[in-house]
Structure 1
């Protein structure tokens, strides 16, 4: 009989949290513990831990034998199997369509080998059915937290994806045609010398609070980008002023011309906000196909905006749930159901238009200003060997910003030793920082062991997504495992990567390196497409020759998608295009 039939959900989670914590020391359903451990498991006081324990013993028919004497271990005996309890609770959550509790329990530290079996009831139960008449709700699982939704401060791909659903830009970039197309603006004119741009707005475009868009909102949004604290202020640095000659006309005056400014107007930080709206790092009012209803630590809820000026989004609600990477593949994109439509997911593996790399902190770390040491570290990044030893498949090695220009560069320990011998390295520990996720730990650990083979000592320092914008640790970092992801406009993305104050290049490259690159990017702005391609190649060659970074690989993402979801496309970040998703109508 399930222990969860008549017990509160909170008590379920307390019980399963305790079982997960004690599982490795459990023998024949008996485990030893000290009472003070429960304070950490349940994040409560000693007094409340005792109360919870007594409640669990009563409700779950456990046997608790207190330790004799201060500091001695106590003993607890369970009458049911932990795996069966976990499975029963997952089935209960599915039956009640309680996604929040389901995601809580899936984040417990149960054995990883159970994931495959626990996945089956989730996929069998999840089918397709409206939650109420005519309403379709999409549950999307992500491994990322929201760090900042304010478009002017966006620098993380997940934040950018969400912001693009909530807000709109004046123009859009059509990657297939390599041209700009109208969006919030119905048209625009550029004065011959490029010092004045006139933007003509569409009529009756509504914000989510139902006020119509005007030129004053354009002025407000662009002036926010000019603020000294804004990491994306490079997008507005050529602007001298913005005028509003009429409600539907905005005039932008420049102190110097920038032929690429139209591409800037299509970028996420240029999303137009209302001058009378509320804007925070977890909420803003936009004109987009979805409005934000809730932004919590592990869930973002979006509702379709019925008054959207383009086609209304098909999915009525989108719930984005954050889960740890090792659990996230249990569900990716699905709609809750009680109808018998089997999950049987199709697996897509879109290649992210981005690259992973090791960043060498030449701005702050005196040790990393040694070019010979950087060359030695770069030679350690043998992706073929890493992939083989880590048991991975599907390597797309990176030697360039773009996957279609990358080739496999051979690396060797012999060459690494040669560069190291020519360096001034004398055995000091190098501090390597990486995201606190399994993939990054795995890669960092491999690099650490590889470095030890030639006598370089590396210590690992994890950081969370919430620490990405924290600059206080920058002076202490020697090496940073990082990544860049391009938008659909790869040329603009190269500019953003090197000019955004929030991203790795501007934070960790030396002033001398940035001065050379900035000079190239100024020329880049005034060149045609072919010339810009050659300029990018030249910048890549520079960062390789200088060993500013060590290219690693281009990521792929495996996504299980419900077979009834239609028009599944991916953006350049590897996220499904949620605006265009739809599903055939289902019976109630």
Structure 2
């Protein structure tokens, strides 16, 4: 492919010597001049002209005899050649190389990038092909704005990564979001002793990992010990586990320090997925790029161009209906507002990215899907750090000026009011009144202990986070508070030292139907700011309430403790929930099994096409 790109460069050099109107017109030129333009010898110039003619880009007629000039006809515009080769590279699966070729020349031909984006958008959706023995292969092709290099269950940070982990791995048990109960998965049966501390799990026999080996109890022990011992941001899930022992090849005994009514739900979290000991040890850090699990799909390719998943034929839970999923890394498409006009209507999934989208006539019959994410965006205040935010009065005042409803009205998009943990909760209501009298304002500064210090707000460089951070910065500036925005990638922002140094953090909380467990994650996950922004007294109070919640036998009792925890967080003014996102999507009428989960994602194992 490098040779083809090199030919593009050589063709552009040759064309650059002719006026624009010469395209398609024969031009007299000597071989020596061609060699000069190509910076090569006469022999290499001849070879290059033959290669370009073979591509159909030009016609070369060498002069015969003394005084007869050669004739060269450039048939295609250089921009068309670049676009054509970029498409060819895409078809070979090299998305990154294709994008680099377009980037190299888009300044010279501004329309090139738009044409490329419109063409790329037509490549997504369902593709049906016939392979060996005329077998049908259903491929769902999607795009995302960055590669999926990190798919190790114990290290994933983003919801997009977590969603894919669910398709590659299994846990001991699964949580049904509809019935809100736990169900068998890798373990078909379990029991607990009278103390509530010793749990025994019986594993399915014959379950295969993607690399061909059968699952054993040793893999379960290894997976949990790995989560406990490695520097994972999700170690909070194993905090109550004392020991994990393989009683025999298919029986695992887990002993807890104290009884925990949320333990079974914790085992269903994607971070608790079971991995093969031999393969994980062999791959080391490379396991995150080419992971192996027992899930319904297996990874066959994962690089800067695309992630490719194939249905795992012997999956114990039943083979998926789709044969293949390709997720192309195309950074420019999600932000391209003109993309919708170029969508190929043969694609079967069309995300609606803003409320401004209007259905065209051929979309009327498409099925509209939509729901509000349970997850929510929030800004946290670091009350554990020396500075003005340690003062409760300042946090209370700051929470009062950051009105979530005003933010939603100003920024619009898919932002909607937060409904977290089954309640609107008192923490969603904050005063918006601020005295405009300057003398009163000076008195207020004195009371809240703010002396004009610059506060650092950390967040991701994603578009919604940028908009939120800039809105907070402007709101604070209008009220006399100096905010500096610092952008960091997820891996950097998940570091405790960074979170502890930040004064404010704009982040999102993972919330689903496992409401009590989601609250526990919000308070204890090492990658989130809350656990780093509470002072020691607050942490002790959190530990006590969450311990009581884990001991509560009924859901009603646990809900009461959850409500008390939310009330305390509101009293402390540790964070302000800003909004939840509404996710909307159009699905082709022939596409079935499509539904959105609490994170706004589609379960690919249920998708099938009626043809």
TM-score range, shorter chain: 0.7 to 0.9
Say if 1:118 and 1:195 are closer, same or farther in 2 by CA, change over 3 A.
same
Say if 1:454 and 1:530 are closer, same or farther in 2 by CA, change over 3 A.
same
With 353-362 and 120-129 compared, the bigger mean Cα shift is at 120-129
Q: 1:214 Cα shift?
A: 1.4
Say if 1:496 and 1:120 are closer, same or farther in 2 by CA, change over 3 A.
same
Q: In the alignment, what sits opposite 1:449? A: 474
With 413-422 and 110-119 compared, the bigger mean Cα shift is at 110-119
Q: In the alignment, what sits opposite 2:17? A: none
Q: In the alignment, what sits opposite 1:379? A: 400
| Partners of 1:505 and 1:253 in 2: CA distance | 29
Residues 541-556 of structure 1 mapped to structure 2, 5 A cutoff: 541-556=567-582
Q: In the alignment, what sits opposite 2:557? A: 531
Q: Deviations over 1:481-502 (max 9, x none)?
A: 0111224422211112212222
Q: In the alignment, what sits opposite 2:127? A: 129
Q: In the alignment, what sits opposite 1:76? A: none
Q: 1:233 Cα shift?
A: 2.4
User: Match for 2:312 among 305, 313, 317?
Assistant: 305
2:362 equivalent to 1:360: no
Q: In the alignment, what sits opposite 2:529? A: 504
With 127-136 and 115-124 compared, the bigger mean Cα shift is at 115-124
CA radius of gyration, larger in = 2
With 530-539 and 344-353 compared, the bigger mean Cα shift is at 344-353
Q: Which runs of 5+ in 2 are unaligned?
A: 13-19, 21-37, 40-44, 59-75, 351-361
TM-score, scaled to structure 1 = 0.77
Q: 1:87 Cα shift?
A: 7.8
Q: 1:292 Cα shift?
A: 1.7
Residues 50-449 of structure 1 mapped to structure 2, 5 A cutoff: 100=96, 121-122=119-120, 128-133=126-131, 134-143=136-145, 145-146=147-148, 148-227=150-229, 229-278=231-280, 280-297=287-304, 299-324=306-331, 327=334, 346=366, 348-390=369-411, 392-398=412-418, 400-402=420-422, 409=429, 411-412=431-432, 414=434, 420=445, 422-449=447-474
Q: 1:511 Cα shift?
A: 2.3
SS at match of 1:545: helix
Say if 1:322 and 1:246 are closer, same or farther in 2 by CA, change over 3 A.
same
Say if 1:183 and 1:125 are closer, same or farther in 2 by CA, change over 3 A.
closer
Q: In the alignment, what sits opposite 2:603? A: 577
Q: 1:329 Cα shift?
A: 6.9
Is the Cα contact below 8 Å between 1:431 and 1:478 reproduced in 2? yes
Give the aligned length. Answer: 523
| Partners of 1:150 and 1:324 in 2: CA distance | 23
| Partners of 1:255 and 1:232 in 2: CA distance | 18
Is the Cα contact below 8 Å between 2:197 and 2:255 reproduced in 1? yes
| Partners of 2:570 and 2:110 in 1: CA distance | 39
Q: 1:393 Cα shift?
A: 4.5
Is the Cα contact below 8 Å between 2:370 and 2:596 reproduced in 1? no
| Partners of 2:216 and 2:456 in 1: CA distance | 50
Q: 1:252 Cα shift?
A: 1.7
With 379-388 and 97-106 compared, the bigger mean Cα shift is at 97-106
| Partners of 1:191 and 1:371 in 2: CA distance | 45
Q: Deviations over 1:371-416 (max 9, x none)?
A: 22212221222233333333x2454223745576689636425169
**CA RMSD, 1 decimal:** 4.2
Is the Cα contact below 8 Å between 2:455 and 2:504 reproduced in 1? yes
| Partners of 1:576 and 1:559 in 2: CA distance | 10
Q: Which runs of 5+ in 1 are unaligned?
A: 1-5, 17-28, 30-49, 62-78
SS at match of 1:473: helix
2:546 equivalent to 1:514: no
| Partners of 1:106 and 1:555 in 2: CA distance | 33
Q: 1:540 Cα shift?
A: 1.5
Say if 1:525 and 1:155 are closer, same or farther in 2 by CA, change over 3 A.
farther
With 370-379 and 338-347 compared, the bigger mean Cα shift is at 338-347
Q: 1:12 Cα shift?
A: 6.9
Say if 1:145 and 1:96 are closer, same or farther in 2 by CA, change over 3 A.
closer
Q: Which runs of 4+ in 1 moved over 6 A?
A: 10-16, 58-61, 79-82, 84-98, 105-119, 329-333, 336-343
Say if 1:517 and 1:324 are closer, same or farther in 2 by CA, change over 3 A.
farther
Say if 1:281 and 1:507 are closer, same or farther in 2 by CA, change over 3 A.
farther
| Partners of 1:316 and 1:152 in 2: CA distance | 27
SS at match of 1:253: strand
TM-score, scaled to structure 2 = 0.74
Q: 1:466 Cα shift?
A: 3.6
Is the Cα contact below 8 Å between 1:170 and 1:271 reproduced in 2? yes
Is the Cα contact below 8 Å between 2:148 and 2:161 reproduced in 1? yes
Q: Deviations over 1:438-474 (max 9, x none)?
A: 2222221121111111111111111123423334433
Is the Cα contact below 8 Å between 1:498 and 1:505 reproduced in 2? yes
Is the Cα contact below 8 Å between 1:485 and 1:572 reproduced in 2? no
Say if 1:294 and 1:510 are closer, same or farther in 2 by CA, change over 3 A.
farther
Say if 1:296 and 1:120 are closer, same or farther in 2 by CA, change over 3 A.
closer
SS at match of 2:260: coil
| Partners of 1:351 and 1:427 in 2: CA distance | 38
Q: Deviations over 1:52-95 (max 9, x none)?
A: xxx9xx9999xxxxxxxxxxxxxxxxx9898x999878877788
